[in-house]
Amino acid sequence: MPMPGPAELAIILVIVVIIFGVGKLPEIGGALGKGIREFKTESTTEEKEAARLAKGDSSTSYAVPGAVKDVREEAGITRERREVRADEI
């Protein structure tokens, strides 16, 4: 997909000014810049995490204790059901 040329960019800018007005442009630009910064930060964080996992380091820098607890509880419930079924046979 080719990049838009100067004429297309000018048309887009005119449409944005018509829709939002001149007073909102700094606010929109600030929000856009903040979004781009957050995206870059998250993407570099994800790249570092992927590189760490690729090296074989399986320890996580963050924990989800609620999810781990839920999984362990579910595994215990499944084990109990299996034991009950085995007793029925």
The tokens of 65 are what? Answer: 């204790």
DSSP label at 2? P
pLDDT at 67: 62
For residue 1, is it within any domain? no
Report the number of distinct structural domains present in the chain.
1
Owning domain of residue 47: 6-88
| pLDDT above 90 coverage of the chain, percent | 24
Query: Distances from the Cα of 57 to the Cαs of 25, 49, 51, 63, in angstroms?
Result: 46, 10, 9, 15
Is the whole model's pTM more than 0.85, yes or no? no
The answer, yes or no, to whether residue 75 has pLDDT greater than 60, is yes
Q: What is the pLDDT of residue 89?
A: 59
Amino acid of residue 67: A
Q: For residue 65, what pLDDT is reported?
A: 58
Flag whether 78 is in a domain: yes
Question: Cα separation of 35 and 43, whole Å?
Answer: 12
- Whether the pLDDT of residue 61 is over 70: the answer is no
Residue 84 confidence (pLDDT) above 70: no
Residue 46 clears pLDDT 60, i.e. is over it: yes
